[in-house]
């Protein structure tokens, strides 16, 4: 699997679970709407005061799982940030393209855009008799 296939998969699923590290090292997870940029970054919006954003400001490491109900999954690990300037505009465009119903929320000062840049990803297909696991070539 390459980056283009990762992007297509995330766009076809449109949601997933994002895990962050909370205070004291406790894991915290949230089920969210997820978009993908053409570069393979995952994008979500969140309240600036939410646990996940507070956690990410202290520790940018995240784990993400996309998919599941159809017997396929994408597992990712990487770093999250709150993009600004041109990067924010590019990520916002990808998010609004995926979720036009949330466009107005991006103008709310209480909402931030979160970008996750995967450093590792693996796609799993568990629909057959033998599971097929493929690492994602994030440079392709």
Token duo for residue 105 = 């929320």
Q: What is the pTM assigned to this prediction?
A: 0.94
Helix (H) or strand (E) holding 140: none
pLDDT by 10s per residue, the chain, length 140: 999 999 999 999 999 999 999 999 999 999 999 999 999 999 999 999 999 999 999 999 999 999 988 999 999 999 999 999 999 999 999 999 999 999 999 999 999 999 999 999 999 999 999 999 999 998 75
CA distance 14 to 100: 13
Q: For 121, which DSSP code?
A: E
Domain boundaries, the chain: 3-135
Q: Tell me which residue of 80, 87, 83, 76 sits closest to 119, measured CA to CA.
A: 76
CATH topology of domain 3-135: Pnp Oxidase; Chain A (2.30.110)
* Cα torsion 57, 63, 68, 73: sign: positive
């Amino acid at each position: 699997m390459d980056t283009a296939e990762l992007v297509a998969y995330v766009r076809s699923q449109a949601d997933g679970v994002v895990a962050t590290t909370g205070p004291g090292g406790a894991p915290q997870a949230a089920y969210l709407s997820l978009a993908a940029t053409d570069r393979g970054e995952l994008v979500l919006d969140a309240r600036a005061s939410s646990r996940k954003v507070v956690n990410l400001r202290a520790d940018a490491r995240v784990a993400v799982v996309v998919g599941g109900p159809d017997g396929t999954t994408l597992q990712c690990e990487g770093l999250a940030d709150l993009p600004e300037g041109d990067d924010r505009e590019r990520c916002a465009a990808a998010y609004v393209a995926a979720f036009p119903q949330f466009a107005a929320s991006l103008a709310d000062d209480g909402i931030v855009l979160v970008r996750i840049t995967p450093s590792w990803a693996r796609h799993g297909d568990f629909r057959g008799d033998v599971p097929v696991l493929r690492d994602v070539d994030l440079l392709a």
